């Protein structure tokens, strides 16, 4: 089954386009998980328990799992999310060539252990660097298109001789690379006009829109332009998973209040986004 | 001590600019390491034993270590290379924003376990995505400039309104980002004229030139243009580490012939490159 069909089913079931970012910064984990064998996995398990009813997908960022225990925690997390019928988008921003690209793509391969359903990739090395991902018609491939960080301008905003900006060219390339119908785009939420413009360039490609918090002002644009035929994702990471982060809840041995706050934050974001769907 | 000073010392000691790529493809490991607790680490240990006299650095590609045992193997490998006084350049091609970029940069931090001396990064997200790496004056940061894979043209060759090509712009940016004197560039070896042109743009930045085999025809250009004041790296991965890959040596229980061939290949590449230094 194609990734975006599975995602559409999940969006319908959860009545939500919320992507919950699982970025378990070790410095911010609550006391209640610190004694576990794998604190990051314990943290993610409780976040998933608290939020899965409101989650269209989980988006672990690979940066937070790059050590031996981290990869164990990530594999457990992927399996657990799947047990709740929630797909997993690995935010890895990978891009490399030849046999290395094929090796990176194994994270999408169930024969090698718990597998992500989709991944984010970096387009700078061009089509062949993404081919091992694109070939997997059952897996989603979200190409970085336009990021909203300050340095996003350094390359992405450069004007080409053709008159396009570089990010517009990347958006067109992503469309060309979409022969298997499994390509999405990562498009930042800070500039609603840009989001609208990119949507007009590629009417049929689902976006992953990061950077929308429960109280953010860009929720309407993220939903209006981020979804293609109702399918797309609006991500919040720290705004959900650390919503319960005040001194009292962090030190609470049970963790109940901490994780309850995460569940409430996910629900609030879902409801806020659903106003515009 | 600055990374490029340490690298210069190592180049002098080994009389070599060879970077040995440690890409332990599981499908190609010889029988002699398969019974080890961590076959990739056992493989790398024996490769390092066989090649370290000829190595200016080791370059593990992160793609081959992205699982729990893999990161253990990588950490052991880094520590072992350091024990032989050879620096380690982690070929990770990372690039992400904010707290995620800071998290990725921890692989350069000795407080977190064996640390790489340098890393490759992807410039697509711009300066702030690389800042946590650039800030580490004692660590090297090799920015992807021009890659020699077919898809390298998709973005890197695009002509800008300014008349530059995108890769030329990236090369200029890398120069701007070099306030700490710790920036290098990754420049492919397949087009000697391009290598020469990029060297003229940035006379002082060391290059990592991948894709030169022991028999490759581009060794001269890689050395002539890849080094800045004698400092730079020419990488070979499979051409060295799988040099002993024929049926007889692969099945040999001792592995002696297999790893001896790797040592010979590293030595041959060193000698070939040294003709042009």
| pLDDT tens sequence across A122-152 | 999 999 999 999 999 999 999 999 998 999 9
pLDDT digits (tens, 9 = 90+) for A212-241: 865 555 899 999 999 999 999 999 999 999
Inter-chain residue contact A155 with B129, CB threshold 8 Å: no
| pLDDT surpassing 90 at residue B113 | no
CATH of the domain at A177: 3.20.20.70
Q: Is A260 a catalytic residue?
A: no
How many domains does chain A contain in total? 1
B153/A126 touch (CB, cutoff 8 Å), yes or no: yes
Q: Which of B59, B93, B267, B270 is catalytic?
A: B93
* Residue A46, domain extent: 3-274
In the predicted structure, residue B217 carries a pLDDT above the cut 70: no
Minimal CA separation from B151 to chain A, in Å: 4
Q: Say what the pLDDT of residue B252 is.
A: 85
Mean pLDDT of chain A: 94
What is the structure's pLDDT at A216? 58
Instruction: Report residue A65's pLDDT band, with 50, 70 and 90 as the boundaries.
Output: very high
User: A146: part of which helix (H) or strand (E)?
Assistant: strand A140-146
Interatomic CA distance for residues B86 and B78, integer angstroms? 9
| pLDDT value at A246 more than 70 | yes
> Higher confidence at residue A13 or residue A214?
A13
Total beta-carbon pairs less than 8 A apart between chain A and chain B: 174
Note whether B96 contacts A99, CB cutoff 8 Å. no
Kindly report the backbone phi and psi dihedral angles of residue A228, in degrees, each rounded to the nearest multiple of 5, phi listed first.
Answer: -120, 115
Q: For residues B77-99, give the mean pLDDT.
A: 96
Residue A12 token pair: 């319908």
Is B147 in Cβ contact with A158 (below 8 Å)? no
Question: Which of these is catalytic: A59, A84, A93, A260?
Answer: A93
B96 min Cα distance to partner chain A (Å) = 7
Nearest to B149 among A104, A129, A150 (CB): A129
Q: Are B133 and B100 in contact (CB under 8 A)?
A: no
Q: CB–CB of A25 and B99 under 8 A?
A: yes
- The better pLDDT of the pair A102, A251 is held by A102
Residue A229 CB coordination number (10 Å): 10
């Amino acid at each position: 089954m194609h990734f975006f069909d599975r995602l559409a089913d999940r969006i319908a079931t959860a009545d939500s386009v919320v992507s919950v970012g699982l970025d378990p910064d070790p410095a911010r984990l609550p006391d209640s998980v610190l004694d576990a064998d794998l604190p990051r996995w314990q943290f993610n398990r409780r976040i998933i328990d608290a939020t899965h009813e409101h989650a269209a997908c989980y988006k672990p960022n690979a940066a937070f799992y790059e050590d031996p225990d981290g990869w164990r925690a990530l594999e457990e997390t992927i399996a657990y999310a799947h047990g709740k019928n929630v797909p997993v988008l690995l935010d890895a921003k990978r891009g490399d060539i030849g046999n290395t690209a094929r090796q990176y793509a194994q994270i999408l391969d169930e024969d090698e252990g718990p597998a992500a359903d989709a991944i984010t990739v970096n387009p700078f090395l061009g089509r062949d660097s993404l081919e091992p991902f694109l070939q997997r018609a059952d897996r989603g491939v979200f190409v970085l298109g336009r990021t909203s960080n300050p340095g996003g301008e350094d390359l992405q905003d450069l004007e080409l001789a053709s008159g396009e900006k570089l990010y517009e060219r990347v958006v067109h390339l992503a469309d060309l690379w979409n022969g298997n119908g499994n390509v999405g785009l990562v498009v930042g939420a800070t500039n609603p006009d840009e989001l609208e413009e990119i949507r007009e360039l590629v009417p049929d490609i689902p976006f992953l829109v990061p950077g929308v918090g429960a109280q953010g002002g860009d929720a309407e644009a993220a939903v209006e332009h981020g979804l293609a035929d109702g399918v797309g994702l609006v991500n919040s990471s720290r705004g959900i998973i650390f919503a319960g982060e005040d001194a009292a809840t962090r030190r609470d041995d049970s963790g109940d209040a901490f994780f309850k706050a995460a569940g409430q934050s996910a629900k609030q974001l879902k409801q806020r986004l659903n106003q515009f769907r």
